[in-house]
Chain A
């Protein structure tokens, strides 16, 4: 996508609250219209601050935020026309559901009939048509969430921001609402910025995910790339389950390298952000890509000796904890298929993997 098509754009944005510490360090981000982008990161990583700067509740200390080609740094929040869903819904307790939805239309001086029509449509959209006359306090958490969503969409904003909107719901409801939100966002073609610290939510809902840490975007990529091809060890650790082994690059040969682990054994890996032999590295392997059935590996693949420490039965998958090269928390997963092998604690196995599944990242 070219810069011209960018609907939301952060250009070298910095933010400091106290003049000493930057909570957002040089943020650059560009979003096309209609994209569902998730800002994912641990708390304090700057993701909520970015959202608040976009909404206009915080001002950028440095840099420019553009919305549809216009700089919006000096536009107050109420003139930005951005819909927002808050973590605790922020439904006005002294108004009924219909009045809550009607509020953004009233402040836009929309006539009574048009207002009622829009409110009705918005409520139907979230399947809450019968609840217009209730008070927010009389609704369950999931219902309040739907109303908050409807209220953010009722005035047809082009950009909707969501600040951990599903944080207060139980697991089942959360999964259902994840689906609802993405469905609505795509049906209505709204550009959405979604903030969460829940990686499952980020992976299942988004077109692209921006992983935040330490005030920077560590990686901005579609969910599959993010999971399968993390660009640094933070992302590898943060997204999904991950095994880490530490060592030194012994040799690099194009797309493959050999890593000498700290206990002396050697493994194959794919160099990602290591540059030369002698660099320290953390290699990252996903638990489901580890193979202990030797027939499935290349003949010349490096293997490691491992001791089974624990077997965890999880229904659809088996999960084993192994001791590998001094790492006692090495996890492997295998599908509970008819031919699946069950290892038992104490058993010694040999494990290996394809070089492309094992990424040598920064130490």
Chain B
């Protein structure tokens, strides 16, 4: 009877709301669990999350212009870039003052290289004029307009000032525009000139080749996984070791081995020539191009396809096949209608794994890809370590991450991530 009349929350024996006392009793357990994972959490936070976030931030961060030339940036607000006329003396004065300070702090060359990404020649312009501007006195030597133009005629070019004004913003979309073969101009976002458009093509190639690699992995892995899942334990364990053996070998060794195999004087070409299938002067070009990258990466990523497929196929009981046959289905119908649909989660898991690994692969395309077989990741590496355009590298990386997340999302919508079994 009391149950029927009682309204409001359930109460525990001591009269506190049941939810509250439950939460209290669970809190200790949660705290203990948190304490157990705290070291790893901290490690991941410090060594993974923070660097990645800061790297992602670099793709839009552009404080260098306004930090190095603070007065100039203020003056640029008053200048109409569309007028086609040079800025007035006030801006030149502000610029001279900024530059003298920047040169003292040796910051002007950095600014030069940053602006050089947008307008080639600006790096050397800053470096050359730096030496002469250093001797100017920001108080006594006014007016500056003619003097600066005399030092480097670039300062008399409206275009240069427009570039500086365009990139004076602290947060920029310039790197992202660059990453998709566009540029930030005073007139807004515009396509890069024809000869500079390579990144979209590279993105396209990365996606296309990753798809090919994923596809060939599926084709090669499916029969092997089937065999592994259906052979007697002893034999399948043996086969499993053969599958995993390359897995335990250094990536570099395996990739180099492909170099030995595939090059023009390599094992495959020599054998084909010796057998007479290929003329000595027409040896196959199967490395340092897309073909080489696809072969080597298919081989390297194959275990990532086999393992999830195997673990899914292992859970498909042989009675399903028997049941289908007892109902009159031929071998093919049994496979196609009964076995294959149940193995799809394995294909899905393997494909996601291989595709995501492939799309960001770096070392193998670098070694066997030549110029035609490189991926977007090789371009990122180039910008990180050679051109030092970290902003662009970060933008490319961010786009790559977004593409992967988008694909993952699509996959979840179509196949459902719950259907993916990794083991």
Asked if B333 CB lies within 8 Å of chain A CBs, one says yes
A345 to B: closest C-beta gap in Å: 48
- Contacting B at CB under 8 A, from A151-178, are 151-152, 155, 161
Report yes or no: A107 in contact with B328, Cβ–Cβ below 8 A.
yes
Chain B residue nearest in CB terms to A82: B326
Mask of A70-108 contacts with B, CB within 8 angstroms, 1/0: 000000111111111011101011100000000110011
Chain A residue nearest in CB terms to B338: A92
Number of interface residues of A (CB under 8 A): 27
Main secondary structure on A side of the interface with B: loop
A56 to B: closest C-beta gap in Å: 8
Known interface pairs A86-B319, A88-B317; A94-B325 also in contact (CB < 8 Å): no
Asked if A55 CB lies within 8 Å of chain B CBs, one says yes
A100 to B: closest C-beta gap in Å: 9
Known interface pairs A84-B322, A90-B322; A103-B317 also in contact (CB < 8 Å): no
Mask of B314-353 contacts with A, CB within 8 angstroms, 1/0: 0001011011111111110110011001100000000000
Please, which residues of chain B bring their CB within 8 A of the CB of A80? 326
Residue in B317, B325, B342 whose CB lies within 8 Å of A77: B325
Please, which residues of chain A bring their CB within 8 A of the CB of B330? 78, 107
Report yes or no: A90 in contact with B328, Cβ–Cβ below 8 A.
no
Asked if A179 CB lies within 8 Å of chain B CBs, one says no
A150 to B: closest C-beta gap in Å: 12
Report yes or no: B342 in contact with A93, Cβ–Cβ below 8 A.
yes
Chain A residue nearest in CB terms to B324: A103
B325 to A: closest C-beta gap in Å: 4
Give the CA-CA distance A84 to B323 in the complex, in Å.
Answer: 7
Report yes or no: B327 in contact with A55, Cβ–Cβ below 8 A.
no
Report yes or no: A90 in contact with B333, Cβ–Cβ below 8 A.
no
A3 to B: closest C-beta gap in Å: 27
Give the CA-CA distance A108 to B338 in the complex, in Å.
Answer: 16
B343 to A: closest C-beta gap in Å: 10
Mask of A44-85 contacts with B, CB within 8 angstroms, 1/0: 000000000001110000000000000000001111111110
Report yes or no: B317 in contact with A78, Cβ–Cβ below 8 A.
no
B235 to A: closest C-beta gap in Å: 15
- Contacting A at CB under 8 A, from B296-329, are 317, 319-320, 322-329
Known interface pairs A86-B322, A86-B323, A88-B319; A94-B342 also in contact (CB < 8 Å): yes
Give the CA-CA distance A103 to B333 in the complex, in Å.
Answer: 10
Chain B residue nearest in CB terms to A88: B319
Please, which residues of chain A bring their CB within 8 A of the CB of B323? 84, 86, 90, 92
Please, which residues of chain B bring their CB within 8 A of the CB of A76? 325
Please, which residues of chain B bring their CB within 8 A of the CB of A79? 328
- Contacting B at CB under 8 A, from A89-139, are 90, 92-94, 103-104, 107-108
Known interface pairs A90-B317, A93-B342; A84-B326 also in contact (CB < 8 Å): yes
Residue in B320, B331, B337, B341 whose CB lies within 8 Å of A90: B320
Report yes or no: A92 in contact with B322, Cβ–Cβ below 8 A.
no
A104 to B: closest C-beta gap in Å: 3
Give the CA-CA distance A56 to B324 in the complex, in Å.
Answer: 13
Known interface pairs A88-B317, A90-B317; A104-B328 also in contact (CB < 8 Å): yes
Residue in A83, A93, A107 whose CB lies within 8 Å of B333: A107
Tell which of A57, A76, A108 has the most Cβ of chain B within 10 Å: A57
Please, which residues of chain B bring their CB within 8 A of the CB of A108? 328
Report yes or no: A155 in contact with B322, Cβ–Cβ below 8 A.
no
Chain B residue nearest in CB terms to A86: B319
Give the CA-CA distance A79 to B325 in the complex, in Å.
Answer: 8
* Residues of chain B whose beta carbon lies under 8 Å from any beta carbon of chain A: 317, 319-320, 322-331, 333-334, 337-338, 341-342
11 extra interchain contacts, Cβ-Cβ under 8 A, other than A90-B319, A104-B327, A161-B326?
A56-B325, A78-B325, A78-B330, A78-B334, A82-B326, A83-B327, A84-B323, A86-B319, A86-B323, A92-B320, A92-B323
Can you list 28 pairs linking A and B with CB atoms under 8 Å apart? A57-B322, A77-B325, A78-B325, A78-B329, A78-B330, A78-B331, A78-B334, A80-B326, A81-B328, A82-B326, A86-B319, A86-B322, A86-B323, A88-B319, A90-B319, A90-B320, A92-B320, A94-B341, A94-B342, A103-B327, A104-B327, A104-B328, A107-B327, A107-B328, A107-B329, A107-B333, A152-B327, A155-B328
Q: Which 4 A-B pairs have the closest CB atoms?
A: A104-B327, A90-B323, A84-B326, A90-B319
